[in-house]
Chains A and B, each alone.
Chain A
Amino acid sequence: MIYLWAFLVGGAICTLGQVMMDGFKLTPAHTMSTLVVLGAIVDGFGWYDPLIQFAGAGATVPITSFGNALVHGALAELERDGWIGIITGIFEVTSAGISAAIVFSFLASLVFKPKG
Chain B
Amino acid sequence: MAKVDRQTAQKQHKQQQQQKEQANYQALAKQNEPPRPLGTNMLKAFVAGGAICVFGQAITEAMVHWFDFDRKAAGNPTVAILIMISVLLTSFGVYDKFAQWAGAGSAVPVTGFANAMSSAAIEHRAEGLVLGVGGNMFKLAGAVIVYGTVAAFVVGLVHLILKSLGGS
> Do A and B contact each other directly (Cβ–Cβ < 8 Å)?
yes
A95-111 toward B: CB 8 Å interface, digit per residue (1/0)?
A: 01110111011111111
Residues of A within 8 A of B57 (CB): 2-3, 6, 56-58
Choice from A23, A32, A33, A101 contacting B83 with Cβ under 8 Å: A101
B92, B121, B137, B157: the one within 8 Å of A86 (CB): B157
Residues of A within 8 A of B133 (CB): 106, 109
Given the complex of chains A and B, what is the CA–CA distance between A101 and B83 in angstroms?
6
Complex Cα gap A66–B122 (Å): 24
**Once A and B bind, how many residue pairs between them come within 8 Å at the CB atom?**
268
Contact A101 B113 (CB under 8 A): yes
Q: Pick the contact of A14: B50, B123, B144, B148 (CB < 8 A).
A: B50
How many B residues face the partner with a CB closer than 8 A? Answer: 78
**Are A10 and B109 in contact, with the CB atoms below 8 A?**
yes
- Specify the chain B residue showing the minimal Cβ separation from A30: B143
| Chain A residues with CB below 8 A from B54, complex form | 3, 6-7, 10, 57
- Cα A42 to Cα B121 with chains together (Å): 32
Interface string of B71-110 (1 = CB under 8 A from A): 0000111111011100110111100000000011101111
Interface majority SS (helix, strand, loop, mixed), chain A: helix
Whether B9 is near chain A, meaning CB under 8 Å from some CB there, is no
In this complex, what residue of B is CB-closest to A104?
B87
- Inter-subunit contact B76/A96 (CB<8 Å): yes
Contact call B50/A8, Cβ cutoff below 8 A: yes
Contacts of B105-149 to chain A: CB distance below 8 A: 105, 107-114, 116-125, 129, 133, 137, 140-141, 143-149
- Which residues of chain A are within 8 angstroms of B23 by Cβ–Cβ distance? none
Q: Is A40's CB under 8 angstroms from B155's CB?
A: yes
Within 32-80 of A, Cβ neighbours of B (below 8 Å) are at: 32-37, 39-41, 43-44, 56-58, 60-67, 70-71, 73-75, 78
Assess whether A18 is in contact with B144, with CB atoms less than 8 Å apart: no
Are B87 and A60 interface neighbours, CB within 8 A? no
Given A104-B84, A108-B118, check contact A29 B56 (CB 8 Å).
no
Extra A-B contacts (6), CB below 8 Å, given A13-B108, A29-B140, A40-B151: A44-B155, A61-B82, A96-B77, A97-B110, A108-B90, A113-B122
What are 12 sample pairs from A and B whose C-beta atoms fall under 8 A apart?
A: A10-B54, A57-B55, A60-B60, A62-B109, A62-B110, A63-B108, A70-B149, A70-B151, A73-B152, A97-B113, A104-B114, A115-B93
B residues within 8 Å of A by Cβ? 36, 38, 41-42, 45-60, 75-80, 82-84, 87-88, 90-93, 103-105, 107-114, 116-125, 129, 133, 137, 140-141, 143-149, 151-160
CB-CB nearest 5 A-B residue pairs: A14-B49, A10-B53, A11-B50, A115-B93, A17-B104
